[in-house]
Amino acid sequence: MHEEFGVIFSIVGAVIFYAISVFVLSRKNKDISHYLFSTMTIFSGSSELLAFFEFTGTMELAHFLLKFDLSFLAMAGYFYLLFADYFREGFNLKFALVALIPTTLIIVMVHTVMIEKMIWGPYGWAGVYRPLWDLVYGVYTISYLIVVVFIFWWVRRQVTEPYIKWKLNLLLTGSIVLLIGSLINVPMIITIGRVFPIIETSLMISAVIFAVALTWKPKELYAQ
């Protein structure tokens, strides 16, 4: 039953992420933040799609795909960081290049030393990670999320326009949801393994919140 749930959850997750990306890109009056966000959701959706094949494939295939699954999540985190920083000072190429360094190192780690073996768990094939390396990946993820929460919080304090403040409130809320999910997920993976797709659930919730912030303006704010 758990395996079936994992397969269905992965398919639904991929569809949701891809649909959100298409929806955001279909809107008028787009800026770079919309493209950064859509890139983030495409990587997240691709991660879910790979998870589907991990559930349904052999151990060798699951092991191979897990490396790209985790790499896509790392890239989603990278574009998430760029997305947040855009609200601070627009797109900054130097910041993007600097932020790419730890992301690249994490991806190299994922493809070389992080995954020790695969085991069959309640939600299908799951990776067993070598000690310390899983912690490094977790610290990387949580550190990026903390930086994003801080950026949105700091920018929100600087603005006075009601619509922008409303948008930043949603972006901050979605980021806190994702941070809480990661703070629960990382220790769980390290100690007892994958019990429930917490990070994927928090990603989908936050993606919906972000999409609302980028595409919808309450009527009461139009005249302001």
Q: Which of the four CATH numbers 1.20.1070.10, 3.10.129.10, 3.40.630.10, 3.40.50.720 does domain 2-215 have?
A: 1.20.1070.10
Minimal CA–CA distance to 48: which of 6, 1, 11? 11
| Average pLDDT, integer, range 83-102 | 91
Inter-residue contact 43 to 72 (CB < 8 Å) = yes
Instruction: Report the percent of the chain where pLDDT is more than 90.
Output: 37
pLDDT digits (tens, 9 = 90+) for 46-88: 988 887 776 666 778 888 888 888 899 899 999 999 999 999 8
* DSSP single-letter state for residue 220: G
- The structural domains of the chain, with segments of one domain joined by +, span 2-215
Buried b (16+ CB within 10 A) or exposed e, 35-46: bbbbbbbbbbbb
pTM across the whole model: 0.86
Buried b (16+ CB within 10 A) or exposed e, 125-142: bbbebeeebbebbbebbe
